[in-house]
Amino acid sequence: MLDLKGRVSIYQPEQEGLIFPYEPSFESVEEERRHRKERLVGACRAFAQQGFDYGFAGHLTVRDPERPELYWTNPMAIHFDKVKMSNLILVDHEGNVIEGTHAVNRAGFVLHANVHEAHPDIIAMCHAHTVYGTAYAALGRPIEPITQDACAFFEDHVIIGDEAGAVAVENHAGSNVATAFKGVKAAIHQNHGLLTASRHSIEAAAFWFIALERCCQQQLAIAAAGIPPIYIREDRARYSREHVGSEYIGWLHFQTIWDQLVQDCPDMFD
Ligand SMILES: [Zn+2]
């Protein structure tokens, strides 16, 4: 084990007084709620930038800090690029909209509410029908330790074969997904797409989703090359995962995206 000298990560500077993102702390639940909602909007905008939209498919959720049985989510049939503070909705386990004027995506609700309910530690989740993630999901194979970045998912994701390919609008479909989502940050739902979950923040869930989609693209690129890749040794893959695959690291990666969005998309806060 590395001696991190009281730091969360090796990436935190030891030298004091430098500009660097630090995790927030909150004076009130209202402040924390606003923070979570803003980052949820930011995560949706990041998904738009990545081209993760597919009609009304795709949903991101984050628990309310005061009422953790309720989730903030993106409104049904609104493009990720048009999600903003004023059109977010707050939804309960049964899919009732508690706050906000827009409808909820039923499939999104079924999957996310079941996972959230089964795992009280999961704060945030992301799901979308992306090009590479969905294509790779058709293979029913895990992400292999072929790059340092891919090691973030080594022994930290699952393949869910249950209900594969059946559109998840029935409640039991969501509960099967929830069961499989134990102790991992990501799932590849066979013939459907990618899911990520975070016990830390919506920022971490969103970044690991972007990372997982990229891993799927790289896997397919290597498969297309027709040359067998060299695999990273298991012990090294685990070591890399500890350092580049944590919740904190996902959150830290997202800060670059957040800063760019704040500068370029002021309408997020409308
Ligand atoms: Zn879906």
Nearest 10 degrees: CA dihedral of 56, 181, 205, 248? Answer: 180
CA of residue 210 to ligand 1 center, whole Å: 16
Average of per-residue pLDDT across 135-156: 97
Query: What residue spans define the domains of the chain?
Result: 29-269
pLDDT above 70 covers a percentage of the chain that reads 94
Fold of 29-269: L-fuculose-1-phosphate Aldolase (3.40.225)
> Would the pTM count as exceeding 0.85?
yes
CA of residue 148 to ligand 1 center, whole Å: 28
Nearest to 49 by CA among 94, 80, 92, 88: 80
CA of residue 76 to ligand 1 center, whole Å: 13
- Tell me what pLDDT residue 194 has: 96
User: Rounded to whole angstroms, how far apart are CA atoms 63 and 65?
Assistant: 6
pLDDT tens-digit series, residues 151-171: 999 999 999 986 665 555 555
- Tell me what pLDDT residue 165 has: 58
CA of residue 13 to ligand 1 center, whole Å: 39
Answer whether residue 109 shows pLDDT above 70.
Answer: yes
Contact 80, 57 (CB under 8 A): no
- Tell me what pLDDT residue 72 has: 97
Q: What is the length of the chain?
A: 270
- Tell me what pLDDT residue 170 has: 55
